[in-house]
Chains A and B, each alone.
Chain A
Amino acid sequence: MSKNIKLRKGLDIQLVGAAEAVVEQAPMAKSYAVSPLDYENVTPKLLVKVGDKVEAGSALFFDKNNPRILFTSPVSGVVSAINRGEKRKLLNVAIEPDQQQVYKELPVVNPQKAERSEIVEMLLQSGLWTRIVERPYGVIANPELKPKAIFVSAFDSAPLAPDYNFVLKEERAAIEMGFAVLARLTDGKVHLSARKGDEGYMKEIKGVEYRTFEGKHPAGNVGIQIHHIDRIAKGDIVWTVAIQDVALIGRLVMGGKLDMTKIIAVAGSEAQKPCYKRIIAGAAVESIIGKVAGNVRIISGNVLTGVKTEADGYLAAGADMLTLIPEGDKYELLGWAMPRMHRFSVSRAYFSWLCPQKKYNLDTNLNGGERPFVVTGLYEEYLPMDVYVAYLLKAILVKDLDKMENLGIYEVLPEDLALCEFVDPSKIEMQQIVRDGINLMIKES
C-alpha cells in the first residue's frame, strides 16, 4: 500500500485547447538557442563567438558565480548570433544546426559504480546539471553541496499541462537510469510523487520513496509536495528535477551523448492543432507552431507560470509546453457590472459556479486595475501550505528579511503562488514579488 496525500485546496482552471494524444515530429528548426535568462541568478560568461562550430553538448557559456556550471548546446552547428539586450546583457546564444548532428564525447560513467564526484562531473560537463533546481530559492544546484533529499514530481497539474505518462511512455529505461543517477547525488531519499489514479509505470520505479498525491492544482507542483513530505527548514538544501529532465539524464548515461530530444505539448484555444510535438530543447518557436496569425499570446510554459515569447522567440529551457491564448487588449463596457458568462471566476459574484465542467477560452486581460490588499482569507484557499500569503508578501514588500524567513520564503517559489495571483481581485503581481523577495534573500545571504 503506497502512501497517498490528499490536498483539499487548489483549483483546476478548465481551458479549451488541450493537446490531443498524438505525437508529431517537428521539423529541424532553423535555429536553436540557450538563454541564461531561463535560470535565476546566473551571470553568464561566454565561451564561444559568432561563427564558432559547436557540437551537441559543447559548452556555450558558464556561470561566473560558479564556473563549474556549464550551459551546453542542444545541437551541433554554427553559433549564428549572440543576442544582447540593454547594457550588453546576454539574452541568448543562437545556433544554426548542422544537417547531420555531431555529438560531443562526454565523460559518461556508470551510476552504480562511479564515484559521486565523477557523476557530478558528468552532469556538469553535459550541461544537464543546470536542470537540477535547488531549494530554497529555485536556483541551479550548487555542485559543492549535498542535498537533504531530491524531489521529483511525475505530473503537472497546471492548466493544459502535458500528460507525462503519455510523453514518457517509451522512456521507461531512461527514467529508471535517471533515478539511479539521482540516487547517488544525495545521502537522503529520492522522492517520486505521481498523481493518484494516473500513475503509469512510476509506481514500479526502484530505489525511490514513492507517493501519490490527489487534489487540484497545484498538487503537481514539487514545492507543494515537498511541504507535505518533508518541509524545508532554515538551513536545509533540497534539490528538485523535472520528470522529463530525469529522462534526459538517463538518456545521457545510456547513450553516452547529450540527446536533448523531448516531447512537448502545444495547447491553448489559439493553437491550430493542439497536440504533442517531438522537438529538440531550445528550438525556435516558429519551427514548432509555424506562423501564428492574429493577436495571440505565445507562452513558453503554462498559462500560470510560463514566459511570454514571440513567434521568432525560442522555447525556454524548462518548458515542456507552448500555450497559445488570445490577447485581451480590448475594452469592455461596464465589464465589472456585467454577468460575464464567458469569463471565469472563483467568486460567486459571477456565475462560473453554475457550470463547473465548462471549459473556458480566457484571454490575457487583467480584468481590473491593481489595488492594495483588500480581501482576506482568499489566497490561502489556493495554496495548500502552512503559509500566510498576504503576510509573506507584505514582509517582502517592506524588505523585512527576518519576517520573510519566519513566514516561509524558503518554502515557496513564484510558481506556487501563481494560483493566488490568478484569483486575486486586487491584481497584485505576486509571482514577481516573491521573485524579488528571493533575490533579496540571495543578495543578503
Chain B
Amino acid sequence: MGMRNFIDKIKPTFSKGGKLSFLHSTFEGFETFLYVPNTVTKKGAHIRDCNDIKRVMIMVVLALVPALLFGMWNVGYFAGRVGFDAFWFGFLEVLPMIIVSYGVGLSIEFAFAQKRGHEINEGFLVTGLLIPMIMPVGVPLWIVGLSTAFAVIIGKEVFGGTGMNVFNPALLARAFAFFAYTPQMSGEKVWYAVDGMTGATALDYMSQPGATMEGFSVCDAFLGTIPGCVGETSTLAILLGAALLLFTGVASWRIMLSVFVGGLAFGYLFDITGWTEYPAYYHLLVGGFAFGAVFMATDPVTSAQTNTGKWIYGFMIGALAVSVRVLNPAYPEGMMLAILFMNALAPLIDYFVVDRSIARRKKLIKNVK
C-alpha cells in the first residue's frame, strides 16, 4: 500500500495547522475519491449500507455514457465523416467542452467547499457532464465556461450547495446560455461542427405551421442520426441509460414514466384537435424530450420528493414541454423551460401531498374527542 503510506505522509500538511491547510477540502476530496475513509459509525446504527452518494452519482455518469458516445459519433457523422473517424472527430470536438465544464465547475465547487469547510460534493460529476451534452456542438467554449459558472454559483452555491438547490444546475446553464447568447445557441449553424454547414433540427421543422415531419424518419429520430445537442439525439442510447438508472433505482421510475405519459397525452390531444399534423410519439423522439425525461426531470434534489408528487410533477413536465413546442413557435424546444418551471413548482406540489398526511394525523385528534 505504497499509495496509502504516501497519503498518510502528506496528510498532516493539509490538515489543520499544516502549511497547505487552506487546501484541506480539496485534499480530502481526492483522498476520499481514492480511498473510502476509515470512519466508523459513532451514533445510531452500527452497520451501514455500503451505498453512498459517490456510487449514486457514478451510476448516473455511467448511464450518460451511451448517449455521450453516440453524440460524439453523431457530431462527426454530420461533419461528413464515417465509422470510427466520425467518432474520433466528434470526440475531439466534444472533449474540450467537457474539459471546460468540469474545469470551471469543479474549481468553483472546490473553492466553495474550502471556504465553508465542507467535504466536496459529488453532484457536479453529473452536472459537469450534462452541461456539454445539452449544448449544441458549435457553441463557443467561453459560453460553456460562463454558463457553467453561472449555474454553479447562482444555481447551486448561493442556495447552500448540493442538495439545497431549487433548479437543476445543468439546465440552468443551458437556460443562461440560451437567453444570454441566443444567436450562438440557436439558428441553423450551431448543430454542426464544421463551418458552412447548416440545417434545421427536427424541432425547427415541427414548429412550422402545418409541419408533417416527412423530412425526418422515425427511425432516424429513434437511433439519433438527426442534428441536435450533443447528447440528446439518440433516443435509443438514452433508453440504455434509462434502463441502468431504473434498474439500480437511482432515478425515479414514477417521474420518468409520467413525463412520457404527459408528453404523449398532450401530443395526442394536439394531434386529434388538429393543431399538429404528426403523431404524438414524435415528440418523444425528437429534441431534448427523452434526454430531459431520463436525466434532468429525475434529478432527486430539484424534483418532487413525495411519490404522489412525482406523478404530478412528471406529468406536468411532459404536458408543458409539448404545449410549449406546439403553441409557441418562438421556442421550438419546450423541455428545458418545462423542467425548470416544474422545478420551481415541485416544492408546492410536495407541500400539498405532505399536507394530506398532516391532515390524516390531525383527524386522529378529533376521533378521540
The reply to whether A374 and B39 contact each other, CB–CB distance below 8 Å, is no
A-side contacts of B305, CB under 8 Å: 376-377, 390-391
Known: A305-B44, A365-B39. 16 other contacts (CB 8 A): A231-B361, A231-B364, A325-B47, A329-B38, A336-B54, A336-B55, A337-B55, A344-B49, A345-B49, A350-B50, A363-B40, A363-B47, A371-B119, A372-B161, A390-B305, A422-B47
The segment out of A44-52, A90-98, A173-181, A296-304 that lies at the interface is: A296-304
Which B residue sits closest to A233, measured CB to CB?
A: B364
Q: List 29 A-B contacts (CB under 8 A).
A: A15-B47, A231-B364, A235-B365, A308-B46, A331-B37, A336-B52, A336-B55, A337-B55, A346-B49, A347-B250, A348-B248, A350-B51, A365-B48, A368-B48, A368-B52, A369-B32, A369-B119, A372-B160, A372-B163, A374-B123, A374-B301, A376-B305, A377-B307, A407-B358, A408-B361, A422-B45, A422-B48, A425-B49, A425-B56
One digit per residue, 1 when the CB lies within 8 angstroms of any chain B CB and 0 when it does not, for chain A 398-435 equals 00000000111000001000110111111101111000
Given contacts A346-B51, A374-B162, A386-B361, contact A331 B46 (CB under 8 A): no
The reply to whether B54 and A366 contact each other, CB–CB distance below 8 Å, is no
The reply to whether A418 and B54 contact each other, CB–CB distance below 8 Å, is no
B-side contacts of A366, CB under 8 Å: 37, 39-41, 48
B37, B38, B51: the one within 8 Å of A423 (CB): B51
Q: Does A64 contact B (CB under 8 A)?
A: no
Q: Does B252 contact A (CB under 8 A)?
A: yes
How many residues on the B side are at the interface (Cβ–Cβ under 8 A)? 60
The reply to whether A374 and B300 contact each other, CB–CB distance below 8 Å, is yes
Which B residue sits closest to A295, measured CB to CB?
A: B40
Q: Does B4 contact A (CB under 8 A)?
A: yes
Which B residue sits closest to A387, measured CB to CB?
A: B357
Given contacts A374-B300, A418-B45, contact A333 B51 (CB under 8 A): no
Bound-complex Cα distance A386 to B358 (A): 9
Given contacts A371-B53, A374-B301, A425-B49, contact A364 B358 (CB under 8 A): no
CB proximity to B under 8 Å, residues A211-252: 231-236
The reply to whether B53 and A368 contact each other, CB–CB distance below 8 Å, is yes
The reply to whether A305 and B364 contact each other, CB–CB distance below 8 Å, is no
Chain A residues close to B by CB (< 8 Å)? 13, 15, 231-236, 297, 299, 303-306, 308, 323, 325, 327-337, 340, 343-350, 362-378, 380, 386-388, 390-391, 406-408, 414, 418-419, 421-427, 429-432
Bound-complex Cα distance A263 to B37 (A): 38
CB proximity to A under 8 Å, residues B345-364: 354, 357-358, 360-362, 364
The reply to whether B49 and A303 contact each other, CB–CB distance below 8 Å, is no
Which B residue sits closest to A424, measured CB to CB?
A: B49
| Closest chain A CB from B168 CB (angstroms) | 13
| Closest chain B CB from A15 CB (angstroms) | 8
Bound-complex Cα distance A418 to B44 (A): 7
Bound-complex Cα distance A363 to B40 (A): 9
A-side contacts of B147, CB under 8 Å: none
Question: Which 7 pairs across A and B sit closest by C-beta, in order of nearness?
Answer: A368-B52, A372-B163, A335-B36, A233-B364, A431-B44, A343-B50, A336-B54
B-side contacts of A334, CB under 8 Å: 33-36
The reply to whether A414 and B40 contact each other, CB–CB distance below 8 Å, is no
| Closest chain A CB from B98 CB (angstroms) | 19
The reply to whether A327 and B40 contact each other, CB–CB distance below 8 Å, is yes
A-side contacts of B41, CB under 8 Å: 364-366
The reply to whether A364 and B38 contact each other, CB–CB distance below 8 Å, is no
Main secondary structure on chain A at its contact with chain B? loop
Q: Does B337 contact A (CB under 8 A)?
A: no
Bound-complex Cα distance A344 to B250 (A): 17
Q: Does B43 contact A (CB under 8 A)?
A: yes
Which A residue sits closest to B32, measured CB to CB?
A: A369
Given contacts A233-B361, A333-B35, A375-B56, contact A344 B50 (CB under 8 A): yes
A335, A375, A406: the one within 8 Å of B300 (CB): A375
The reply to whether B357 and A376 contact each other, CB–CB distance below 8 Å, is no
Q: Does B114 contact A (CB under 8 A)?
A: no
| Closest chain A CB from B323 CB (angstroms) | 26
A-side contacts of B354, CB under 8 Å: 388, 391, 407
Bound-complex Cα distance A21 to B52 (A): 37
The reply to whether A374 and B32 contact each other, CB–CB distance below 8 Å, is no
The reply to whether B35 and A386 contact each other, CB–CB distance below 8 Å, is no
Bound-complex Cα distance A367 to B361 (A): 36
Which A residue sits closest to B62, measured CB to CB?
A: A349
Bound-complex Cα distance A56 to B287 (A): 79
One digit per residue, 1 when the CB lies within 8 angstroms of any chain A CB and 0 when it does not, for chain B 108-134 equals 000000000001011100000000000
Q: Does B249 contact A (CB under 8 A)?
A: yes
The reply to whether B50 and A345 contact each other, CB–CB distance below 8 Å, is yes
A-side contacts of B368, CB under 8 Å: 233, 235-236
B-side contacts of A424, CB under 8 Å: 48-49
| Closest chain B CB from A28 CB (angstroms) | 29
Given contacts A335-B36, A336-B58, A369-B32, contact A425 B52 (CB under 8 A): yes
One digit per residue, 1 when the CB lies within 8 angstroms of any chain A CB and 0 when it does not, for chain B 238-261 equals 000000000111101000000000
Q: Does B225 contact A (CB under 8 A)?
A: no
The reply to whether A371 and B51 contact each other, CB–CB distance below 8 Å, is no
B-side contacts of A232, CB under 8 Å: 364
The reply to whether A432 and B44 contact each other, CB–CB distance below 8 Å, is yes
Which B residue sits closest to A230, measured CB to CB?
A: B364
A-side contacts of B362, CB under 8 Å: 406
| Closest chain B CB from A358 CB (angstroms) | 14
| Closest chain A CB from B338 CB (angstroms) | 20
The reply to whether A376 and B55 contact each other, CB–CB distance below 8 Å, is no
Q: Does B235 contact A (CB under 8 A)?
A: no
The reply to whether B163 and A345 contact each other, CB–CB distance below 8 Å, is no
Q: Does B197 contact A (CB under 8 A)?
A: no
Bound-complex Cα distance A343 to B358 (A): 38
Bound-complex Cα distance A424 to B310 (A): 20
Which A residue sits closest to B56, measured CB to CB?
A: A425
One digit per residue, 1 when the CB lies within 8 angstroms of any chain A CB and 0 when it does not, for chain B 279-323 equals 000000000000000000000110101110010000000000000
The reply to whether B303 and A336 contact each other, CB–CB distance below 8 Å, is no
B-side contacts of A15, CB under 8 Å: 47
Bound-complex Cα distance A380 to B365 (A): 24
Bound-complex Cα distance A350 to B360 (A): 37
Bound-complex Cα distance A331 to B8 (A): 11
Which A residue sits closest to B355, measured CB to CB?
A: A406
B-side contacts of A363, CB under 8 Å: 40, 47
Q: Does B180 contact A (CB under 8 A)?
A: no
The reply to whether B40 and A349 contact each other, CB–CB distance below 8 Å, is no
The reply to whether A349 and B163 contact each other, CB–CB distance below 8 Å, is no
Bound-complex Cα distance A208 to B360 (A): 28
Q: Does B59 contact A (CB under 8 A)?
A: yes
Given contacts A422-B45, A430-B44, contact A331 B50 (CB under 8 A): no
| Closest chain B CB from A397 CB (angstroms) | 12
The reply to whether B47 and A13 contact each other, CB–CB distance below 8 Å, is yes
B-side contacts of A370, CB under 8 Å: 119
A-side contacts of B365, CB under 8 Å: 233-235
A-side contacts of B301, CB under 8 Å: 374
B-side contacts of A378, CB under 8 Å: 249
| Closest chain A CB from B322 CB (angstroms) | 25
| Closest chain A CB from B256 CB (angstroms) | 13
B-side contacts of A377, CB under 8 Å: 252, 300, 305-307, 310
